[in-house]
Amino acid sequence: EDKVVQSPLSLVVHEGDTVTLNCSYEVTNFRSLLWYKQEKKAPTFLFMLTSSGIEKKSGRLSSILDKKELFSILNITATQTGDSAVYLCAAAEDSNYQLIWGAGTKLIIKP
């Protein structure tokens, strides 16, 4: 059965720290890995990763995919209280149009 596992499930750090969130997957016909940030309501898109080893960056956030070891990481540097959220990753299959979601990592940034 296809699955996506995120770790840790929750994380508390202080403002200014750097955090690394993990997402591993076992998906038949894997196509891409997506990261979303969910604050109070709707998840908002962060990154889509399709190729292995190519880092995607957006400000203080970056992410990379390892298709050999079947995982992705999301890095956040110089964290701010506004980074507090649940970070979700999802894997997309090539053969259908369903995303397989992880349970999320709840990140809390303390001032």
Partner 1 sequence: KAGVTQTPRYLIKTRGQQVTLSCSPISGHRSVSWYQQTPGQGLQFLFEYFSETQRNKGNFPGRFSGRQFSNSRSEMNVSTLELGDSALYLCASSLSNPGQGSYNEQFFGPGTRLTVL
Residue numbers of the site for partner 1 (CB under 8 A)? 6, 31-32, 34, 36, 41-45, 48, 88, 90, 92-104
Nearer to partner 1, 43 or 63 (CB): 43
CB of 78 to partner 1, least distance (A): 26
**From CA 14, how far away is CA 2, in angstroms rounded?**
35
CB of 42 to partner 1, least distance (A): 4
**DSSP count for the chain of H helices, then E strands:** 0, 11
**From CA 13, how far away is CA 80, in angstroms rounded?**
10
CB of 4 to partner 1, least distance (A): 8
Nearer to partner 1, 14 or 41 (CB): 41
104: left (phi over 0), alpha (psi -120 to 50) or beta: left
CB of 108 to partner 1, least distance (A): 15
**From CA 15, how far away is CA 98, in angstroms rounded?**
36
Nearer to partner 1, 61 or 99 (CB): 99
